[in-house]
């Protein structure tokens, strides 16, 4: 199982939000590039980088930082946040990202996602962000009427091979993941699935590791790494057993 440290950027800082709410932001570092190097040094095999400014405002203040992160580490970077058109996808790959994450695009402009999958294949990852079983978009501000499993079915038909699932109500709360939701998606999606949201202690990693045989491919850890409730080296050791 892959462990992916999260580097969420806003205003040039490395931050964490609670349930995606800007008013509940904590700044953990003013140097996201240093944080990327730190997680690589501690054993990360891939980094999860999100531009929150782009996600919430449809404009990026952090593109150069993403580019610098990609050039400063030797491990693959998956980058996302506000990826709403084909040009942004191209720009992120040109900046050095090995994978690009889309969310809103999969709901409101699936034809662009289809074109991107045709060109970039398995390097395209779809974020399936959910609130009460419905897809959330626009930096999680808006909850749609689109059923999560309906969306998964559509992106699977396009050739998407990897998804990230976040239960928004769990994100940043340090209360543990939504295991029932993760199990159900693993069972029904038949895709490489990365779990995100609420991973708060090393016992969560052990429980998620048990779901690997069900199709769980990886886990994104954010706040718990910054608060040191989880030590990255220990999480990786368990995940790779």
User: What are 149's two structure tokens?
Assistant: 């499993």
- 53 catalytic? Reply is no
Q: Which helix (H) or strand (E) holds 152?
A: helix 148-158
Beta-sheet pairing, 99-102 with 47-51: unpaired
Q: Which helix (H) or strand (E) holds 124?
A: strand 124-131
Rounded to an integer, what distance in angstroms lies between the CA atom of residue 119 and that of residue 187?
A: 28
Q: Which residue in the list 8, 51, 53, 204 is annotated as catalytic? A: 8
What is the distance of C-alpha 58 from the center of its chain?
18
DSSP for 211-235? TGGGTEEEEEE-HHHHTTSS-HHHH
User: What are 93's two structure tokens?
Assistant: 């790959």
Q: Which residue in the list 31, 94, 118, 129 is annotated as catalytic? A: 129
Report CA-CA distances (Å) from 73 to 16, 45, 230: 21, 10, 22
140: left (phi over 0), alpha (psi -120 to 50) or beta: left
- 132 catalytic? Reply is no
Active site members: 8, 129
């Amino acid at each position: 199982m892959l462990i992916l440290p999260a580097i969420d950027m806003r205003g040039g800082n490395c931050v964490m939000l609670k349930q995606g709410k800007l008013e509940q932001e904590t700044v953990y570092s003013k140097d996201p590039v240093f944080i990327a190097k730190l997680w690589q040094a501690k054993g990360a095999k891939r980094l999860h980088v999100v531009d929150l400014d782009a996600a919430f405002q449809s404009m990026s203040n952090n593109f150069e930082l993403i580019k610098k992160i990609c050039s400063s580490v030797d491990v693959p970077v998956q980058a996302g946040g506000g990826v709403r058109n084909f040009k942004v996808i191209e720009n992120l790959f040109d900046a050095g990202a090995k994978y690009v994450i889309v969310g809103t695009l999969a709901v409101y402009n699936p034809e662009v996602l289809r074109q991107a999958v045709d060109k970039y294949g398995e390097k395209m990852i779809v974020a399936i962000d959910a609130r009460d079983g419905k897809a959330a978009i626009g930096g999680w501000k808006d909850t749609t009427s689109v059923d999560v499993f309906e969306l998964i079915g559509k992106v699977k038909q396009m050739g998407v091979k990897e998804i990230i699932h976040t239960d928004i109500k769990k994100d940043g709360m340090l209360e543990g993941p939504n295991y029932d939701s993760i199990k159900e998606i693993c069972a029904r999606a038949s895709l490489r699935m990365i779990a995100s949201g609420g991973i708060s202690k090393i016992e969560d990693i052990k429980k998620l590791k048990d779901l690997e045989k069900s199709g769980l491919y990886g886990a994104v850890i954010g706040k718990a790494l910054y608060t040191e409730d989880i030590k990255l080296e220990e999480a990786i050791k368990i995940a790779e057993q």
